[in-house]
Chains A and B, each alone.
Chain A
Amino acid sequence: MTTHTPLLSVLLLTACLNVTEERIARDLSVGERESAGVRVHVEDGRAAVRALDENQLELWANAPFVAAELDLSAREGSGPFRIRVRNALPDAELELADSDGTPLSLREVPTTFATERRVELDPPNARLHLALRTRDQDARTPFQFLAFADVQDAMPQVGDIFARMNQEADARFVMMAGDISERGRAEELERFQREQLALRIPIFVTLGNHELGTASLPYYEYFGRGSQSFTFHDARFTFLDSASATLDPTLYDWLDDWLDAGRGHAHFLFMHVPPVDPSGIRNGCFSSRAETGKFLAHLSRGELTAAFYGHVHSYYSFEHAGIPAFISGGGGAIPERFDGIGRHFLVVDVDPVEKSFHSRIVRVD
């Protein structure tokens, strides 16, 4: 026993080094569901399947453009089939086509929320293609988005932020860098999505360390992937799950692919825990200096345009490895004191042709 104890201990410790492995598997499972003979597959996991049975499909979009395959060939029952997509851009259109690409006739179902699309159809028992997109999805015209993070226990007051965001008339969507909730519980995530109904544009998110406070990680069921990449107006947006102050080794492969895809375009990165905390003494950032170096070397080689982080409840603008970086954790969680920064969000104007951007801070308090 004594002889084997040190070896056993080392093996146990080694097994605990990869704390993010399970979340990669959860990422890959987003957008896949089968129920009552109906199967749905959301491309690249860009939407969470919130409900699926023989009569309905409900998706929570986590990107401006969502494509999915809906297989009704073994559907149990008959009659109308309802599709509801939440967290969509207000001008996004929902389309369905059969396997030949022939559009299907859809009946719009009225909804009171700007970010929701509801349709009803009499579907054939066949494989269908679903697409949610705006007409200008691939345009190369300038656009605007908003960024913020770290609401946590300030959920009751988050409506103030949404009300102020609604005044930014040109903003197309909000990018949130995690810490939606205090403990990641399902009821907190539901509450956030209810509060979000006051916002006229969708919020696309990744998870923060506070979403890890519930072992079952309901985040994935409510919002979707923690790590993903999409394009809008020829600009690339990438979310990475850094909630454990590190990236899973798999994410470095994904990141390199996304950086390659974004080369020559404006490319913005969003994640919760930053690789660098401007206050190194506090170290609200990656656990390892070596990983910080590795990560920034990847970003630098990939010609990233800018990075947006949360976790630190203040506002910082700085450069790392020559890449502009912002920490904007002004969603209402206990603020960093004595810095004069309270609740806030960022307004970012993007010119896809020039591959340039301009950001400004909007204070809510």
Chain B
Amino acid sequence: MSSRNLHVSALASLTLALLRSPGLHAESESAKISSAHATSPCGTNRALGVAVAVVPGVVVHGLGHFVTCEPAIGRRLLFLQGVGVTTTVLSGVGLALSGASRYVVAPLALGAIGGVGLFAISYLADVYGVLSPSTGIGSPARHTPALVLQSGVRLLHDPLFPTSFLLSQGFLLDAAGFWLAPRIDASPDGRHRRYALAAGHPLFGAHGDRRLHRPWWVDLRVALRDFAESREGFGMTSAEVALVSRVDLELLGHTLRGSFGLAELGYSREWHRFDGAPGFTWDALLARVGFGTYLGGAVDPASGAVHGVQGETFFAYDHRRDTVAGGMRVSGIPAGYLGFLEQRTELYFGPRFGAALELQYGSAAVVSGYFLMRLPKGS
């Protein structure tokens, strides 16, 4: 198995393990899966659908839905796969023929990333659609909080840097149609420091609480970041602008209820500095694609209250190289062109308190654990 495949399969197993973790579903939900959900609407064994979606489905996406008598959704997933493959191939051919020319590389790289992202999303959506109960495996929060505090520790292993953990503090403030998210990550000795100040404004789709009941949204995000590694005598400041979006995949069919796709596109300008030497400016393409699901959050139809834990998990590819994770080191010819893989799972155990686990794999392996606290609007 190539190292790249090994990385992907390891993360996939990690994803499945997290999805199977106890406590995410009420027992009654599990019972639903094992009984009513054991067969498809046309009587096909749903386990067969899952098996088909996982194995031959990696080649032809949507097969799981075809087997479980949801051909319309299967066709949509197959179409998405086709778009993904076509975009990837065209972009790859364009990159090869143009010699990755600086004049055309941006759209072609975006095409390749987007194409591979669509391919991955359509595959994971097929598996999710035949695996999950009709209500999905979770629901979004009922209200957008006014403030989310995040405090945690990040453990990292990078063969090139001695820093082994960072303390992380940040919050997200959502008010008056804007959101603001400052964040600090620093080693205890202060020699590795990262500051970020991001702000955003909804451009399209839902706003505020309404975004929880609308299938898609697009935000404009601007951010300033600074990174310093005083042990080595260098640092970097960057300014960026990006479009970030989320699409509920239920748009493609009811079996995908509770799942979503993530996408981001942007540009970053960087100023690199060195102790005792002139700096230089540089730039970077920002792109990110991912697939996620809501977790828990069952709503009592009578009271409207949310039972048990509620949260979400996602798996994403992020093309940026300026984070703690950096870009993936891969052996072989494609070295240098990849960003990092990320999985984040966050769960709230009540209206206010929660926790998040974040795994990132790039030049460094990063495992982050966060304590979360949210405050509803008007509190």
Asked whether A282 lies within 8 Å of B272 as measured between CB atoms, the reply is no
> Which residues of the partner chain A approach B234 to less than 8 Å between Cβ atoms?
293-294, 296-297
Whether, in the assembled complex, B365 has its beta carbon less than 8 Å from a beta carbon of chain A, the answer is yes
Is the pair A287, B329 in contact by a Cβ cutoff of 8 Å?
yes
Minimum C-beta distance from A293 to chain B (A): 4
> When chains A and B are docked, how far (Å) is the Cα of A321 from the Cα of B279?
5
CB-defined contacts of B141 to chain A, threshold 8 Å? none
Q: Mark A269-313, 1 if CB is under 8 A from B, else 0.
A: 000010010111111111111111110111011000000000111
Cβ–Cβ contact B232 & A287, under 8 A: no
Instruction: Kindly supply a per-residue 1/0 record for chain A positions 64-107, scoring 1 wherever the CB is within 8 Å of any chain B CB and 0 otherwise.
Output: 00000000000000000000000000000000000000000000
B176 within 8 A of partner (CB):
no
Which residues 1-39 of B have a CB within 8 angstroms of A? 3, 6-7, 10-11, 13-14, 16-18, 20-21
- Contact, CB under 8 Å: A294 / B109: no
Residues of chain A lying within 8 A (CB to CB) of residue B327: 245, 283, 287-288
B229 proximity list for chain A (CB < 8 A):
290, 293-294
Residues of A within 8 A of B280 (CB): 276, 318-321
Tell me whether A288 and B277 are in contact in the complex, defined as CB-CB below 8 angstroms, given that A6-B14, A18-B159, A243-B335 are known contacts. Answer: no
CB < 8 Å neighbour of A290 from B98, B100, B102, B161: B161
Q: Does A9 belong to the interface (CB within 8 Å)?
A: yes
Q: Which of A109-117, A125-133, A330-338 contacts B (4 or more CB under 8 A)?
A: A330-338
Contact call B101/A336, Cβ cutoff below 8 A: yes
Given A288-B326, A338-B98, A300–B277 Cβ distance below 8 Å?
yes
* Interface size band for A: 35 or more
Contact check, A279 vs B102: say whether CB atoms are below 8 A apart. yes
> Is the CB of A13 closer than 8 A to any CB of chain B?
yes
Interface pair A5/B13, CB less than 8 Å apart:
yes
| A339 interfacial by beta-carbon distance below 8 Å | yes
Cβ A281 vs Cβ B284 within 8 A: yes
Among B14, B98, B235, B330, the residue within 8 A (CB) of A337 is B98
A252 to B63: give the CA distance in the assembly, Å: 50
Q: Nearest Cβ in chain A — how far from B340, in angstroms? A: 9
A212, A243, A318, A334: the one within 8 Å of B96 (CB): A334
Kindly state the separation between the CA atoms of A146 and B363 in the bound complex, as whole angstroms. 34
Among B194-231, those with CB < 8 Å from A are 227, 229
Q: Is the CB of A6 within 8 A of B277?
A: no
Say whether A294 contacts B232, CB under 8 Å: yes
Render B321-337 as a binary contact track against A, CB cut-off 8 A, 1 for contact: 11000111111111111
Query: How many chain-B residues does the 8 Å CB contact rule pick out?
Result: 72
How many angstroms from the CA of A148 to the CA of B100 in the assembled complex? 19
**Residue A14, interface by CB 8 Å:** yes
A37 within 8 A of B: no
- Pair B13/A9 contact, Cβ less than 8 Å: yes
For residue A209, CB closer than 8 A to chain B, the reply is: yes
A243 and chain B: residue at smallest CB distance: B335
Contact yes or no, A246 B284, CB < 8 A: no
Whether A19 sits at the interface, judged by CB under 8 Å, is yes
Expressed in whole angstroms, the Cα–Cα distance for A296 and B233 within the complex equals 10
Verify B14–A293 contact, CB threshold 8 A: no
A25 an interface residue at 8 Å Cβ cutoff?
A: no
Per-residue A-contact encoding for B266-310, CB less than 8 Å = 1, 0 else = 010010101111111011110000000000000000000000000
Contact: B274 with A19, CB < 8 Å?
no
Within 8 A of B (CB), among A223-263: 243-247, 249, 252
A288-B321, A291-B160 known; A337-B335 Cβ under 8 A: no
A337–B99 contact, CB under 8 A?
Answer: yes
* A41 adjacent to chain B (CB < 8 Å): no
Query: Whose C-beta in chain B lies nearest to the C-beta of A211?
Result: B333
CB-based contact B275/A17 at 8 Å: no
Known contacts A289-B321, A300-B276; decide if A282 and B100 are in contact (CB<8 Å).
yes
Report B174-207 CB contacts with A as 1/0, cut-off 8 Å: 0000000000000000000000000000000000
Could you list some 5 contacts between A and B, CB below 8 A?
A10-B14, A19-B329, A288-B362, A321-B279, A339-B102
Residues of A within 8 A of B (CB): 2, 5-6, 8-10, 12-14, 16-20, 183, 209-210, 212-213, 243-247, 249, 252, 273, 276, 278-294, 296-298, 300-301, 311-314, 318-323, 334-339
Which 8 A-B pairs rank lowest in CB-CB distance, beginning with the nearest?
A245-B336, A288-B326, A293-B234, A287-B327, A5-B17, A288-B363, A300-B277, A279-B102
With A10-B367, A13-B365, A290-B160 known, 13 other A-B pairs at CB within 8 A are A18-B159, A212-B332, A244-B330, A278-B102, A280-B283, A281-B285, A285-B336, A290-B229, A296-B234, A301-B233, A311-B336, A312-B100, A318-B280
Binding site for A on B (CB under 8 A): 3, 6-7, 10-11, 13-14, 16-18, 20-21, 96-106, 109, 157-161, 227, 229, 232-236, 267, 270, 272, 274-280, 282-285, 321-322, 326-338, 359, 361-365, 367
